[in-house]
Structure 1
Amino acid sequence: MNKAITDGINFMPPLFKDGLTVWSSGDGTPGSDTYDGAVNAAFVPSDADFSGCLELQKTSPTQKLRHMGQTPLQPGCYLQIKARVKAISGNLPSVRIAAWAGGAGNNHVSGVTEVGPATTLTTYGEVVEITAIVGSGARGGVDMPWGRGALYGHFGLNLEGANGGIVRVDDIEIIDITSAFLRDLIGVVDVRDFGAVGDGTTDDSEAFEAADTAANGRTIYVPEGTYRLNQTVNLGSEVKFDGTVTMPTDQMLLLTKNFDLRNYIDAFGDEELAFRKAFQALMNSVDHETLDMGGRKIAVNGPIDMQAAVPNKTSISTRRVVCNGEFDVKGNAAWDTEVFTSVATYDPADSRKLKNVTNIANIPVGALITGNGVGREIYVRSKDVAAGELTMNAGLYDADGSQNFTFTEFKYLLDFRGFSKLTKFNMLDIEFQCNSQCSAICLPAIGATFSLSDCFISRPKDRGITSIGGGCQGLLIDQCQFLSAEEALDVAERTSIAINANANDVKLRNNRATMFKHFAVLGGDNSMVIGNHFFQGDHVSDGIRSAGLILIGDYNCGMVSSNYVDNCFIEWTNERDPQPDFDGGFSFSSMSITNNIFLAGDVAPWFSFIVVKPYGTGHWLNGVTVTGNKFRATSGYIERAERVDTSFADLNFTRSKNVTYTANMYHGVTKKVNNPLRVRHVQSTAAQTWTVDTNDELPFGANARSVEGLVAVDGIRTAGGSLRYTMPYVRHERGAEDNAIDVVWSEAVQGSVEVNIRIDKV
């Protein structure tokens, strides 16, 4: 770069032969004295060494010579001032290039160096070349770094030392030598050329912005040093960092041209800080919707508060993506779980509130709540310290009155709790390596369509993904692996959970989860659980198994299809209902469990793959489909594939409605249930009433409430062998368990019939 060539700027001062009216004995500013007619200065037209020169006698302690013209100094431009001098007689002075720095409004720029190195003349008649370089940046070889405040200079030289000596000065030259400071004459813009200091204290924000303005397609270069940026800096050009930057938490570095994590790590020199600043930029950028981690592994030494990284925003509804990397948790006390206890009062009429909470100021939002009558995965959604009230993500089934509650604060690798709302946030191709130190992700209280795809959540200490409220609305988890930290423990000792959600429309698709206490606890409606493989067994003979999938809510409208349910079971419950007894509505309804593989090995005979657990009386099945499933038990038979857990209540089987339980396959299962259930009954002795037993093969041990078909297999005959063609009628819900029917004839007959018996009525 040469401004004389590219921009036509003339840096050269006039020759001495053209007159001394523009050469000042002061600073060179307008009105200063000139050498025109001065008794101690004269133009010498002919000299053995110079073709015209200024002869000057030193009469002041510092004899100044300044060109009165304003030589421009542009950011990124470096000028060399050169003078050849020789001593003629008298005392031998020291000589140095000197200048006066001018800024906006023709004001003097103070605090900058305005002299070059001094050279002492030692021999009369010897020509000595005096040089100095001036420029905006504090670069190596720059004698006078003036920063961006200087716009021009009055350049010349100083004679210093004893008075009386006479020297001759050849015409002064000023040339653009910017190219000497560029790595590439057209490709690089150095921030130091625009006044960046890099001392870790001086605010270099404006210098960075000026370099970006000047880059015009070239790369901005940040050399070694620590550059303090006190302001938000938006760089539209590519940037190469050899040095690092520091900046306040609430200010942003926006790398628009090369926005990826690698460049932020180069910029900040610390992986964890770099991720925070890159995430901050992502959430504030209109130019990028994806932060590519570039395959980098980030060492994380404490929970990352995602909202604290973006202090100017608490609500974000624009699609944003973080992808392609790994978070690697390092063990230290920052991950320690905290536990608080408090007395609080619960009123089922205000089902999501705990009131009169002692010690409420210390209880964190997002803490897990446990106590008598508290269901699984109940969290503090928000709190009102002044009112002494906590709001929970769901109600409690049996906690009326006051009692002690325990509040457990898990620590999360990525913690989104600080956002009041987060929508359309996606994470792709990332491994969350929790290393048994922490949980992985905590969602905010409000949000929608948080998405996790093709990720690994490895060895979480307590939870994989936690929802403390409604931030799981429309949660999308696809093709992820959840690897437990509790593989070595027996089922009864495990406490970790891969996923919990409270809101509606959750989609869990094609995931794999190993050895957690539970794979997923879903508290909302309309969930779709498709194509997942979750397994939770151990090596204990006849050992217990935990629920792999827990669906909470009687009206659930859930779909569980094409999963591999391995050594665990599906549990459907209403444990978050503060008034759990049925008093209206649809009861346990709208559930389909279809085309799944169910496998268990070496389990107790009472184990079942599908468990309905009512927490109140009067509930019934209403709109349930269980079809196309493969139920298999190995190393011993199980009694049945489905059952009701009556720990709190049984189902009301007199009201079952619209239940389809067909086309399932059973291996190692004693009771092969169906609805409708086809039963062949053989009556070997004549009787007017035939009692047809279902052998407890109706789903869930339900009542025989209707018959949808009855046909005689061969002739119906009297005791004497005469055929009868009369039509019988049936009586439902017979026998001690109401699971048989009576076929009633007009007279005593014998023979055999096939009957399709249902647990529901039309």
Structure 2
Amino acid sequence: MNKAITEGLLLMPPAFSNGLDQWSSQDGTVGSDTYDGAVNAAFVAADQDFGGCLELLKSETTQKLRAMVQTPLHPGCYLQIKARVKAISGNLPNVEIAGWAGGAGDVHVLDVVEAGPSVALTSYGEVVEVSAIVGTGARNGVDMPWGQDALYGHFGLNLTGANGGVVRIDDIQITDVTNVFLRDMMDWVDVRDYGAIGDGVTDNAAAFNAADAAANGRQVLVPEGVYALASNVTFESPVRFQGQVTAPKEVRLSLTKNFDFGSYVDAFGGDEVLALEKAIQALFNFTDHESLDLQGRRIELTRPIDVQDVVNNISTYAIRRVIRNGQFNVLADPAWDTDVVTSTASYSASTSTELTNVANIANIQPGSLVEGNGVGREVYVKSVNVGAQTLTLSQPLFGAASNQSYTFSRFKYALDFSGFSGLDKFVLDDIEFQCNGISSGILLAPEGLIFHVRDCFITKPKDRGITSHGRGCQGMLVDRCQFISNEQPMRAQDRTTIAMNVNANDTKMRDNRVMLFAAFGVWAGTGHLFSGNHWFHGDGETDGVRRAGVIFTTPNPKSTVVGNYIDNNFIEMTNEHDATPDWNNQYSFGGITITGNIFTVNDVAPWFSWIVVKPYGSGHYLHGFNLSGNVFRALNGNIERIERVDETYAGLDMSKSRNVVVQGNAFNSVDTPIFNPLMVRHTEAANATTWEIPTDGKLPFGGRARRVEGFVMDQQVLRGSNTAHYEFPYVSLQQGADQSEAHLKWSQACRGRVQITLRMDNAT
């Protein structure tokens, strides 16, 4: 046969018997010289070894022989060119298979190897076979790798060495040997077959994309080597990495069929942090997956992961994305050191979330904790305007001077989302943050909805577990997580770490366990739900100090605390995030339901209380407060009462209390239980016209006896002569030094026993 057809391609060049006008003495391209009529070439019809063949006198330094036909070379295709040659007379030359690489538009593809191994002819009449393999990939055994740009070749041979020798050449054979490199039975394709070169320099993006297109459901193999990518690559086929990829920060590698952390570790040479960053980058750029599976891997972090900087091309994102199933283990490095800046600034309550005239502002970072006189707990820098010398704060300041010094502390977080301007519906699922006292856990974006942390451990954060420095906590969900302090051996009053804080509304805290922090957290905003959590913050000190575990900084938070275990700490209600903290016709303290919880404490001073109201301004009162169905128990000593008002800045106006319900609670080792309504049984043993009925401190928060719901004489009322007295008395309320007594007024002195139900509030 004088031709071979491989998958419909004509590969075999013409036989010499078809005419020497089909063979060029140059490159074989259109218009090049042929051997037809040449004085140094002739067709020999009958040779004892070859049959018909070409006889050629070598007269040039490199005597070329090229077929005028274009032999196609497709991606992934490998061709073997063979020629049998013998010397007839004269000088003995060297022989090598050669070709001319043609690209699109019939241009010459430069910088590729166009000649195979050279073979010396050493005797006359000896038949010598020379061969070479050409293909797109730089594979072992490929003599002429031509890459993706070469679409066809003009193939033949070269004679080199001394001139004057005469040789005879049999018909040149070209066969498809692709199956030697990529057998049809294999379920993978090799990127090298499509021009990839693993030299760490050559851009392989086009080769990777071509291999993916050719895979057609098979696996793509990236063999040993370092493969540079200068532009984005998306694999629609599964990929196996024996070699590794290198790419600039902005270049994405998207693995749509095996989008998992292990594949990215393989792709980036075992560098787990880089692999994580590239996987996160792809996650935000539509890899056909909503989740990144860390496959239970432990990732050693030596620096914070700035998620927005990693993603690089997106500043806001509102499509659900998940990172799940792994562990971040933080290792010591200066990259985790807190950046602390001290600066002076101006503040006005009229622009309550702004500092102006900020000195040294270029060194203050968004996400920094703000501390100074008149600054409430967990106030952060939301944004920085260097040109205007202004900072936006996460919360107002309750008592800052018009000009004063502030300290700004920028903690470092394992996952830092603060670079996004907005982030919605992001989920962290089944991840352990092993902060090791070196880093904090998670910093949220300044804006966003429904950030969800579920089934995660945040273990031993250096400063904070989860921080919101803006409103990226709106609607946040934290479910079944454990927060474990790095300060467990310390006294409660010496701890500084906080599990979390919230600035916005509608968060849900469910079934979490928070162990031995300075506090579970600080909640601004409204609409929060706490259910099934256990937070405990005690220590081993006798008569120890206990601190607030949950702090509400909106005085009327419209929140519920239901079915929790509150251990060795208290719930505190404040208005410290109010630039004008005095009451001014707004809702005051209340708007909260505390129901069905277990409260316990041990080894504390008797003045400890589980519910504390701390007004930062005057004129406030209780409004819409419900404390029902809870169990309170003190161990190793009694406490005086379960609730109190912290009057460090101001007290409560008890003449305004409204809609306060305290009932159905159980009190163990509490000297003074509290109730509202409060039923009092009073016995007046001696005749009197005024029966003074004390409440004995049992009205909540030292409230006044402001209303009577009813009373009944459960014993006959007698006058001095032991005659029955049937006249009905009237009640005087808010009597006594602290206005906590009710007085029954009679027209005549009498004695007896009464059951009276009093309230410290008005209904409306």
Q: Do the structures match in fold with TM over 0.5?
A: yes
Aligned to 1:451: 452
Q: How many Å apart are 1:293 and its aligned residue?
A: 1.1
Alignment of 1:761 with 2:728, yes or no, is no
Opposite residue 409 of structure 2, the aligned amino acid is T
Q: Determine if contact 1:348/1:400 at 8 Å carries over to the other structure.
A: no
In 2, distance between residues paired with 1:125 and 1:117?
A: 21
Partner of 1:730: 731
2:93, 2:161 within 8 Å by CA — same for their partners in 1? yes
Q: CA separation in 1, counterparts of 2:123 and 2:116?
A: 21
RMSD (Å) for aligned C-alpha atoms: 1.3
Residue range with higher mean Cα deviation, 211-220 or 453-462: 211-220
Determine the C-alpha separation between the residues in 2 that align with 1:693 and 1:266.
77
- Partners of 1:109 and 1:189 lie apart in 2 by 25
**Cα deviation 1:612-663 (Å, max 9, x = unaligned):** 1111111000001000101000000010111111111111111100000000
Partners of 1:6 and 1:470 in 2: how far apart?
Answer: 65
> What are the Cα deviations for residues 702-746 of structure 1, in whole angstroms up to 9, with x where unaligned?
111111121111111112211222222111111111111101123
Task: Report the 3-state secondary structure (helix = DSSP H, G, I; strand = E; otherwise coil) of the residue aligned with 2:310.
Answer: coil
Contact 2:6/2:176, CA 8 A, preserved across alignment: no
**Superposition pairs of residues 326-725 of structure 1, within 5 angstroms:** 326-725=327-726
Please give the secondary structure, in 2, of the residue aligned with 1:52: strand
1:30 — aligned with what?
Answer: 30
> What amino acid maps onto 1:242 in structure 2?
Q
Is the CA contact 1:300–1:328 (under 8 Å) kept in the aligned structure 2?
Answer: yes
Work out whether residues 435 and 461 of structure 1, in 8 Å CA contact, stay in contact via their aligned partners in 2: yes
1:176 corresponds in structure 2 to 176
Match of 1:260 in 2: 260
CA separation in 2, counterparts of 1:562 and 1:204?
Answer: 59
Q: Which amino acid aligns with 2:304?
A: P
CA separation of 1:262/1:183 partners in 2, compared to 1, >3 Å: closer, same or farther? farther
- Structure 2 vs 1, CA of residues 575 and 148 (structure 1 numbering), >3 Å: closer, same or farther? same
C-alpha distance in structure 2 between counterparts of 1:491 and 1:301, whole Å: 30
The residue type equivalent to 1:239 in the other structure is V
SS class of match (2:367): coil
**Farther off after superposition, 83-92 or 325-334:** 83-92
> 1: distance between equivalents of 2:546 and 2:457?
24
SS at match of 1:658: strand
Distance in 2 separating the partners of 1:140 and 1:45 = 39
Q: Supply the distance in 1 between the matched residues of 2:648 and 2:642 (Cα, whole angstroms).
A: 18
More deviation in 227-236 or 178-187? Answer: 178-187
CA separation in 2, counterparts of 1:337 and 1:179? 60
Report the equivalent of 2:83: 83
Q: Give the match for residue 746 of structure 1.
A: 747
1:750 Cα deviation from its structure 2 partner: 0.8
- Hey, what's the Cα distance between the residues in 1 that align with 2:364 and 2:4? 69
Percent sequence identity over aligned pairs: 55
Unmatched 5+ residue regions in structure 2?
Answer: none
- Aligned amino acid, residue 158 of structure 2: N
Structure 2 distance, partners of 1:48, 1:492, is 106
Assess if the C-alpha contact under 8 Å between 1:179 and 1:185 holds in 2. no
| Cα displacement (A) at 1:39 | 2.4
- Structure-2 separation of matches of 1:183 and 1:8: 18
Describe the shift of the 1:4–1:84 C-alpha distance in structure 2 as closer, same or farther (beyond 3 A). Answer: closer
d(CA) in 1 for partners of 2:107 and 2:384?
58
How far has the Cα of 1:4 moved from its partner? Answer: 6.6
CA distance in 1, matches of 2:195, 2:562: 64
Segment drifting more, 716-725 vs 309-318: 716-725
**Cα-to-partner distance string for 1:585-622 (whole Å, 9 max, x where unaligned):** 22112111010000111111011111111111110000
- Cα deviation for residue 40 of structure 1 reads 2.0
Structure 2 letter corresponding to 1:136: T
- In the TM superposition, residue 187 of structure 1 has moved relative to its aligned partner by 1.4
Offset at residue 347 of structure 1 (A): 1.1
In structure 2, the CA distance between the partners of 1:75 and 1:474, relative to structure 1 (3 Å rule), is same
CA deviation map 1:475-495 (0-9, x unaligned):
110000001111111111100
Report the Cα offset of residue 5 of structure 1.
Answer: 6.4
Matches of 2:305 and 2:681, distance apart in 1: 65
Provide, for residues 63-102 of structure 1, a one-character-per-residue CA deviation record: whole Å limited to 9, x for no partner: 1111110000011111111111111222111000000111
Q: Tell me which residue corresponds to 2:111.
A: 111
Counterparts of 1:528 and 1:258 in 2: how far apart (Å)?
Answer: 39
Provide the secondary structure at the position in 2 that maps to 1:717.
Answer: coil
Indicate if the aligned counterparts of 1:205 and 1:231 stay in contact, CA closer than 8 A: yes
Q: CA-to-partner distance for each residue in 1:308-348, whole Å, 9 max, x for gaps?
A: 01111101111111111111111111101111111111111
Contact 1:525 1:557 survives alignment (8 Å):
yes
CA distance in 2, matches of 1:206, 1:13: 30
Tell me the SS of whatever aligns to 1:724: coil
SS at match of 1:640: coil
- The aligned residue for residue 208 of structure 2 is 208
Q: How many residues align?
A: 760
- Confirm or deny: 8 A CA contact 1:571 1:612 kept in the other structure: yes
Extract unaligned runs of 5+ from structure 1: none
1: distance between equivalents of 2:354 and 2:132?
Answer: 76
- Which secondary structure state, in structure 2, belongs to the residue aligned with residue 208 of structure 1? helix
* Offset at residue 48 of structure 1 (A): 2.7
Equivalent residue letter for 2:470: G
Partner AA of 1:485 in structure 2: N
TM-score between the two structures when normalised by the length of structure 2: 0.98
Contact between 2:22 and 2:69, CA under 8 Å: does it hold in 1?
A: yes
| Whole-angstrom distance in 2 between the partners of 1:388 and 1:606 | 46
- SS of the equivalent of 1:669 reads coil
Q: Deviations over 1:502-534 (max 9, x none)?
A: 001011111001010010210111111111001
1:128 matched to which residue of 2? 128
Provide the rounded CA distance (Å) in 1 between the counterparts of 2:263 and 2:611: 51
- Partner letter of residue 203 of structure 1? D
SS, match of residue 210 in structure 1: helix
Task: Write the letter of the residue equivalent to 2:746.
Answer: W
- 1:93 is matched with which residue? 93
- The CA distance in 1 between the partners of 2:717 and 2:267, in whole Å, is 92
Q: Secondary structure at the match of 1:214?
A: helix
CA shift, 1:583, in A, is: 1.6
**Structure 1: distance between partners of 2:135 and 2:536:** 69
Q: Which amino acid aligns with 1:225?
A: G
Equivalent-residue separation in structure 2 for 1:309 and 1:457 (angstroms): 22
- Amino acid corresponding to residue 611 of structure 1 in structure 2: V
Shift in Å at residue 19 of structure 1?
2.0
Residues 216-265 of structure 1, C-alpha deviation per residue, up to 9 Å, x if partnerless? 11111111111111111111111111111111211211111211111111
Contact 2:5 2:11 in 1 (8 A): no
Partner of 1:113, secondary structure, is coil
Q: Which residue number corresponds to residue 249 of structure 1? A: 249
Measured in 1, the distance between the counterparts of 2:728 and 2:241 equals 93
Shift of the 16–4 alpha-carbon distance from structure 1 to 2, 3 Å rule, reads: closer
8 A contact 2:254–2:287 mirrored in 1: no
Deviation at 1:184, TM superposition (A): 6.2
Which residue in the other structure is 1:64 paired with?
64
Give me the whole-angstrom Cα distance separating, in 1, the residues matched to 2:187 and 2:346: 69
* Structure 2 contact 79–133 (Cα < 8 Å) conserved: yes
3-state SS in 1 of match to 2:51? coil
Secondary structure of the structure 1 residue equivalent to 2:20: coil
User: 8 Å contact 2:259–2:287 — kept in the other structure?
Assistant: no
How much does 1:473 deviate?
A: 0.5
Matching residue of 2:291: 290
Tell me how far apart the structure 2 counterparts of residues 386 and 168 of structure 1 sit (CA, whole Å): 83
Cα distance, 1:41 vs structure 2: 1.9
